[in-house]
Amino acid sequence: MEIVYQGKKVEIEDGANGFLAAKALDPEKKNKALGVKLGEEHIIDMNQPIPAGSEIEFVMPDSKDGFEMMNHSCSHLMAQALKHLYPDCKFGFGPAIEEGFYYDVDFGDKTVSENDFAAIEAEMKKLSKEAIPYKRREISPEEALEIFKDNPYKVERIKELNETISCYEQGDFIDLCRGPHVPNTSYLKHFKLLSLAGAYWRGDSKNKQLTRIYATCWESEEALKNYLDILERRKANDHRKLGKELGLFMLSDFAPGMPFFLPKGMILMNSLLDYWHKVHDAYGYYEITTPTMMSRELWETSGHWDHYKENMYTTKVDDRDFAIKPMNCPGAMLAYNNSIHSYKDLPYRQAELGHVHRHEASGALNGLFRVRAFTQDDAHIMVRFDQIEEEVKNIMRLFDEVYSVFGLSYKIVLSTRPESNYIGSEEFWEKSEAILAEACASSGHEYQINPGDGAFYGPKLDFKLRDSMGRTWQCGTIQLDVNLPHRFGCFYIDDKGEKVEPVMLHRVVFGSIERFIGILIEHYGGAFPTWLAPVQCAVLPVNSAAHGEYAEKVKKALEDAKVRVEMKDDNEKLGYRLRQAQVEKIPFTLVIGDKEVESGSVNYRIYGQKDQVEVPLEEFVKIIRKSIDDKARY
């Protein structure tokens, strides 16, 4: 039969599976490939027959698809080991995730801790050496209910599926699964159990809490070691730890989930916000601010009172219900409606740094990453339908400019129309999705489709940032909305003098300012670029009596150049003060001694570097000023 491989039509044996195809087309891959990819999306097991006419490629361990397959398969390997060690345990879901996999397990009256990981890993290694094949089976719902009758979690899932069900067997273990899987357990050698967490079945706090075991599996010992090294770096760079050490922010039981920013943290935040103001001014945004607390009627109009009230803080004022805002959008609608707009006014861009409050579950709170009070850097842009594509491209230019400053790369995900409970015509959705896709393509940005994950009122683009330690963060969003403009009666006057509802683009760059600061703390490991650093330069006189006067002159020159400078006098030995400047991660450290006093120079060292450089004072002022103005790493 004919298939397509590496862009060429080739002949292979009728009904050949992946092993036979690899043997004929690329023998080196026969015992290394994990699966066969058909076209752009679908992957099958190596032992499944390849459909005639398919365009194929082999899924290798070092690819993104290969990583996912190994981790999905390793979740089954771990489950089999757990079943051997804890025969009465029952399994929920066990998916692959971005950096590994997890499995939710009901251990009954048994308690499992990280102290048990060594025994679990030992059993997994034993099963790996046995090279147990992963065998796919397709069965009826009735058969599935019989096989999994002792597992209420699987039974619940089976009853939702009115179709043929696929399972995978490996030796004495069987699990519900769509697949695909690696050929056998010997392909899984380099794995590590990482941590435990509690997880309610299906994320519902009304359900039983299961034990979630996180783990990871890699294609080689070296790759696994590199990943574990990154995890250690992440622990060292934990923003909660660094935030305390660097005096940036604090948390208090008097206000759970509501961070306090300390003096140095406020310098960091204000530097970030100063940049935000300048960028938005350059891109034609009008900045507004709306009240923190508004009446129930507003939230009823927006729909939040009916659908989000449990996450809102409410109170009564003069016998009327009020709520502290959980988002800025409704206030922005009122600001837009304050005046009449012509079609010539559009796009009309409103930006707001609004302080919002959301009642998050106490168990979900996490430093600056998950809080109850935060600053949302929102923008609400009213456009005509024919302006959507150009405005989206304009926003992406802004995103490119902002994220590049921080050295953050990103990928874009386009979320499309939900299967049900959406508003607007299918034609609106199809056109809107095509416009967003074309805006990405014509701007030179690749994107992935996330089918059915759009909001009920419109499709969206999510910008997934990648930091210096390989983690992905959801920050930027561009979302189409025809719901709120309709609810609030927003309109513009078109060229015929008639009222027309605009389309609104919701847009955030940083998302939560507090969360973005947490991301930056970990991204930089607390060693901020000079323009963001709370203290940009430390001045260390070797001896205050001999060098103090010149050190003060140096400090004054830097202050006059708008440099944030701190004098560290000689109450402590010079070596201690140098180490302290490094601990505080100050970008530039100046040592002032006899030579510098005599020559009118400074001796500077950049954080993280050993070299010391001597230059005239005037030249150093230019160097550090350039580092600040260029927003350079140093």
Active site residues: 329, 358, 376, 378, 380, 460, 506
128, 170 contact by CB (below 8 A): no
* Sheet bearing 320-324, strands edge to edge: 293-295, 320-324, 314-317
Q: Give the Cα-Cα-Cα angle 357, 358, 360 (nearest 5 degrees).
A: 140
Tell me, what DSSP letter sits at residue 323? Answer: E
CA-based R_g, the chain, Å = 29
Find how far residue 401's CA is from the centre of its chain. Answer: 19
3 state SS of 96: strand
Q: What are the residues whose beta carbons fall under 8 Å from the beta carbon of 584, sequence distance 6 or more?
A: 246, 535, 538
Q: What are the residues whose beta carbons fall under 8 Å from the beta carbon of 316, sequence distance 6 or more?
A: 322
The 3-class secondary structure across 502-570, one letter per residue, is CEEEEEEEEEEHHHHHHHHHHHHCCCCCCCCCCCCEEEEECCHHHHHHHHHHHHHHHHHCCCCEEECCC
201, 208 contact by CB (below 8 A): yes
CA distance 358 to 326: 5
Task: Classify burial at 156, counting beta carbons within 10 Å of its beta carbon; exposed 0-12, middle 13-18, buried 19 or more.
Answer: middle
Q: Where are the beta strands (DSSP E) in 416-456?
A: 447-450
371, 514 contact by CB (below 8 A): yes
**What is the tally of helices (H) and strands (E) in the chain?**
19, 33
2-14 exposure pattern, b = at least 16 Cβ within 10 A, e = fewer: ebebeeeeeebee
CA distance 474 to 516: 10
3 state SS of 227: helix
Find how far residue 292's CA is from the centre of its chain. Answer: 27
Report the half-sphere exposure of 494 (CA within 13 A, side-chain side): 10
Q: What are the residues whose beta carbons fall under 8 Å from the beta carbon of 483, sequence distance 6 or more?
A: 303, 423, 456, 457, 458
